[in-house]
Amino acid sequence: MSGDYAIDVHGLVKRFGSKTAVAGVDIQMPSGEVWGFLGPNGSGKTTTIRMICGLLRVTEGTGQCLGYDIQRDAARIRELTGYMTQKFSFWSDMTIRENLEFVARIYRLPHIRQTVDETLETLGLTHRQHQLSGALSGGWKQRLALAAVTMHDPKLLLLDEPTAGVDPQARRDFWDEIHHLSLKGMTVLVSTHYMDEAERCDRIVYLAHGEKIIEGRVPDVIDRSGLLTFRSEGEGVRRLADDIRNEPGVEHVAYFGSALHVSGKDRAAIQAALAKHQAPDVSWSEVRTSLEDAFIALSAEAGEDKRVHA
Amino acid sequence: MKSLLRSFGRIWAVFMKETVQIRRDRMTFAVMIGIPIMQLILFGYAINMNPKHLPAALLVEEQTPIVRTMIQSLRTSDYYDFVMQTDDPRKTGDLLARGEVAFVVSIPAGFTRKLIRGEHPQLLIEADATDPAAASGAVSFAQTILSDALRHDLKGPLANLAGGQPPFDLVVHQMYNPEAKTSYNIVPGLLGVILTMTLVMITAIAMTRESEQGTIENLLAMPVQPIEVMLGKILPYVVVGAGQTVLILLAARLLFDVPFIGNAWILFLGVSVFVLANLALGFTFSTIARTQMQAMQLTFFFFLPSILLSGFMFPFRGMPEWAQTIGEVLPLTHFLRIVRGVMLKDTSLAQLQSPILALCLFTAVAVSVAMLRYRRTLD
């Protein structure tokens, strides 16, 4: 295995016809970690994940996954990875149990009945095992999918926006399960749009326009954005937003409930701007820049989409 | 009035939406144009309800001017295409059983002598009546054709033979189906038609359903090989096909009184290969079509020539050469030879070698195409 990297890919490029979806991505992900994969819609997250697990052919670039060549040994990689698709892709006209049994048979797991029983028990779906999987709610579908793709005890887990459209409690349970799997030694790559989920990861990779913009631990990524953020709460503060936004040195103005966040890189300029639009009952205080602010800044710096669209 | 106008506006909106969607789905469009063209050509040119140029064998044990005249008249009648002429009865032995000819015309030794003496010698036409429609035209006109031909030759001292009754006795053996029942032909054929229609259709949606429901992504991410998917998907329908076969054969016996004189094991072999051929073809369709709708259209597109050009509805030998060539590609054509052969003619395995091999070849080609077309990735 190349330096014990679970994923070790260089210069991955994927073109669909004349459209470039991924424009040269490098990822060196050590075994046993939990990484977050972030970026706006269409930034190439799904395409990259699919190339890693052999669901898409690589246009350019090389790489290994779990020590196997991603182009030559796709079949071997499939046996050792669990891939959870963005959209629920289990068979909705089959019951929960039938789906799990199918997966167990495909991976030729021993003691199918017992394995499935245990999985159902862990999932808490034993009493609903004979319901059609299509009848499950979004949160349960995701839990079923996670259970199904981890039943064969893969070394690497690739999760593509697993918690999209799932309620907060279910998301929290889901992440508890991910960390539980990670403790058992599974390497996990999760793509997500949720900042709180990103903060649960050991490291994050941020993609925009098919390129890797930044990679690192969450505090490092925030630091590297170089942003300062001021916050104020109060009745009139929201009315100030449009005025402040146009001041020099102010990069972002964002609402957080009744509060307003103003970010920029130049402390003096921001303070000047805030002073200019001083209002009664409004007092500004400096706060920690959020990951979201950092990402919006990073995306803005990444500039226009340079990929060619035909 | 105003609400009527608003309604027209909305009809227009739906009309435009449909137009855009029709344009996007090129295969549907192609089928809408292709089916009428195919039907026009097949019904217009290929199908012949009064088939001529049917292959026939000639067993002639003597060569005399009168016999030659008679043969010549049959030849010029356009009904008979003599693919073989011999004086050895062993050579014509199993031509009918193998389906190579539709008729064997036999003129025995001493025919001319007996004819001149006014002894009304026998002239035998054995017709393959497994398809009564194909045989009827040629047989019913034979008497007239031969009598007219002789009228010119029977002059002078033989003039007395020319008038009244024909000077020979035409004997027609309707082989395999003496009562010329159409059900003998149609019911075994229906077995093939029903298997074609249902089995191709059911497997044609096999992969397209996975694509449409998004489950294909999951399937591709799992360690399962294309050929494993294919076999896993078609084998359940082999059982279904077996069930259908038993049902139809029971109906053939109990409801339609169709005989079954051949070896059931040969039919079992033929049905097995035929079922596999259809399932493999259906699976191939499902790797070509993008949607279940398109898969259905492909099935229909295939089904039409299968019905018309296989010899199920219209005599195979009565079609023009090009239509027969297309027919030879269709599995149903070969299966009809097997099922009619076994049930009605007691055809042996050796005699059915070529249709069985043809079905095997078809299956092999279909599986190869399916494997080439099978998407191993989401590209």
Q: β-strand A81-84 against A156-160: which pairing, if any? A: parallel
- Surface of A (72-101) touching B: CB under 8 A: 74-75, 78-79, 81, 83, 85, 87-92
Q: Which of A78, A88, A92 sits opposite B221 (nearest CB)?
A: A78
Chain B residue with CA closest to A58: the answer is: B379
On whether the CB atoms of residues B285 and B201 are closer than 8 A, the answer is no
> What tokens were used for B200?
């191709």
* Rounded Cα–Cα distance for residues A209 and A24 (Å): 11
pLDDT at A1 over 50: no
> What tokens were used for B126?
């054995």
* Rounded Cα–Cα distance for residues B367 and B227 (Å): 9
Q: Which of A74, A79, A89 sits opposite B217 (nearest CB)?
A: A89
pLDDT for res B165: 73
- pLDDT tier, A21 (very low <50, low <70, confident <90, very high otherwise): very high
- pLDDT tier, A303 (very low <50, low <70, confident <90, very high otherwise): low
Q: Which has more confidence, A297 or A114?
A: A114
On whether the CB atoms of residues A53 and A17 are closer than 8 A, the answer is no
Residue B270 to chain A, least CA–CA distance (Å):
33
Lowest-pLDDT range of A34-38, B56-60, B76-80:
B76-80
pLDDT for res A304: 62
pLDDT at A4 over 90: no
> What tokens were used for A149?
């793709």
CA distances from B364 to B232, B274, B277, B287, B368 (A): 17, 12, 8, 16, 6
Q: Which has more confidence, A289 or B50?
A: A289
Q: Span B178-194, mean pLDDT? A: 89
SS3 assignment, position B169: strand
Q: Which has more confidence, B157 or A195?
A: A195
pLDDT at B170 over 80: yes
pLDDT for res A281: 75
* Rounded Cα–Cα distance for residues B21 and B29 (Å): 10
Q: What is the DSSP letter of B351?
A: G
Chain A residue with CA closest to B224: the answer is: A106
> What tokens were used for A95?
């019951």
The verdict on a CB contact (< 8 Å) between A107 and B215 is no
Q: Which of B218, B225, B377 sits opposite A89 (nearest CB)?
A: B218
The reply to whether A106 touches chain B by the CB within 8 Å rule is: yes
Contacts B221 to A, Cβ<8 Å: 53, 55, 78, 81, 83, 85
Contacts A83 to B, Cβ<8 Å: 221
The reply to whether A63 touches chain B by the CB within 8 Å rule is: no
The verdict on a CB contact (< 8 Å) between B377 and A55 is yes
Residue B212 to chain A, least CA–CA distance (Å):
11
* Rounded Cα–Cα distance for residues A211 and A111 (Å): 44
pLDDT tens-digit profile of B73-125? 888 888 888 888 888 888 887 888 888 888 899 998 888 888 888 888 888 99
Looking at chain B, the whole-number percentage of residues with pLDDT higher than 70 is: 97
* Rounded Cα–Cα distance for residues B85 and B91 (Å): 9
Lowest-pLDDT range of B2-16, B49-63, B183-197, B228-242:
B49-63
Residue A75 to chain B, least CA–CA distance (Å):
6
- pLDDT tier, B164 (very low <50, low <70, confident <90, very high otherwise): low
Q: Span A285-301, mean pLDDT? A: 83
- pLDDT tier, A2 (very low <50, low <70, confident <90, very high otherwise): very low
pLDDT for res B161: 65
The angle formed by the CA atoms of residues A266, A268 and A272, to the nearest 5 degrees, is 120
Residue count of chain A, please give it: 310
Chain B residue with CA closest to A157: the answer is: B221
Contacts B223 to A, Cβ<8 Å: 75, 78-79, 106-107
Q: β-strand A228-233 against A252-256: which pairing, if any? A: unpaired
Residue B299 burial by Cβ neighbours in a 10 Å radius (0-12, 13-18, 19+): buried
Contacts B222 to A, Cβ<8 Å: 78, 103, 106-107
Residue with tokens 């490098």: A26
The verdict on a CB contact (< 8 Å) between B379 and A57 is yes
What is the Cα gyration radius of chain B? 27
- Chain B contact residues (CB < 8 Å to A): 213-218, 220-225, 376-379
The verdict on a CB contact (< 8 Å) between B379 and A50 is no
pLDDT for res B139: 81
The reply to whether A134 touches chain B by the CB within 8 Å rule is: no
The verdict on a CB contact (< 8 Å) between B223 and A107 is yes
Substitution target from A19, A59, A89 for chain B, most B beta carbons within 10 A: A89
Q: What is the DSSP letter of B42?
A: I
pLDDT for res B296: 92
Contacts A81 to B, Cβ<8 Å: 221
pLDDT for res A80: 95
The reply to whether A156 touches chain B by the CB within 8 Å rule is: no
Lowest-pLDDT range of A154-158, B96-100, B154-158, B316-320:
B154-158
Q: Which of A55, A91, A106 sits opposite B217 (nearest CB)?
A: A55
At B214, phi and psi to the nearest 5?
Answer: 80, 0
Q: What is the DSSP letter of A53?
A: T
On whether the CB atoms of residues B338 and B274 are closer than 8 A, the answer is yes
pLDDT at A309 over 60: no
pLDDT at A134 over 70: yes
The verdict on a CB contact (< 8 Å) between A78 and B215 is no
pLDDT at A217 over 70: yes
Count of CB pairs separated by less than 8 Å, A with B = 47
The verdict on a CB contact (< 8 Å) between B379 and A56 is yes
> What predicted TM-score, i.e. pTM, was given to this entire model?
0.84
* Rounded Cα–Cα distance for residues B341 and A249 (Å): 91
Q: Which of B215, B217, B223 sits opposite A78 (nearest CB)?
A: B223
Q: Which of B218, B223, B377 sits opposite A90 (nearest CB)?
A: B218
pLDDT for res B295: 92
Q: β-strand A34-38 against A203-208: which pairing, if any? A: parallel
* Rounded Cα–Cα distance for residues B124 and B104 (Å): 8
On whether the CB atoms of residues B199 and B305 are closer than 8 A, the answer is no
* Rounded Cα–Cα distance for residues B83 and A57 (Å): 57
Residue B34 one-letter amino acid: G
Residue B187 burial by Cβ neighbours in a 10 Å radius (0-12, 13-18, 19+): buried
B206-213 vs B292-309: helix crossing angle, rounded to 10: 160
- pLDDT tier, A109 (very low <50, low <70, confident <90, very high otherwise): very high
Nearest to B236 by CA among B209, B274, B285, B275: B275
Spell out the residues 6+ positions from residue A142 whose beta carbon is closer than 8 angstroms to its own: A84, A88, A162, A163, A166, A170, A174
* Rounded Cα–Cα distance for residues B310 and B328 (Å): 8
ipTM for this model: 0.85
Lowest-pLDDT range of A291-300, B273-282, B310-319, B330-339:
A291-300
Q: Span A112-141, mean pLDDT? A: 92
* Rounded Cα–Cα distance for residues B108 and B250 (Å): 42
On whether the CB atoms of residues B286 and B205 are closer than 8 A, the answer is yes
- pLDDT tier, A5 (very low <50, low <70, confident <90, very high otherwise): very high
pLDDT at B160 over 70: no
Spell out the residues 6+ positions from residue B45 whose beta carbon is closer than 8 angstroms to its own: B320, B323
Exposure letters A209-234 (e unless 16+ CB within 10 A, then b)? bbbbbbbeebeebbeebebbbbbbbe
How many CA atoms within 13 Å lie on the side-chain side of A21? 19
At B55, phi and psi to the nearest 5?
Answer: -65, 135
pLDDT tens-digit profile of B297-322? 999 989 999 999 998 988 888 888 89
Residue B216 to chain A, least CA–CA distance (Å):
8
Residue B210 to chain A, least CA–CA distance (Å):
9
Q: Which has more confidence, A302 or A168?
A: A168
Chain B residue with CA closest to A17: the answer is: B379
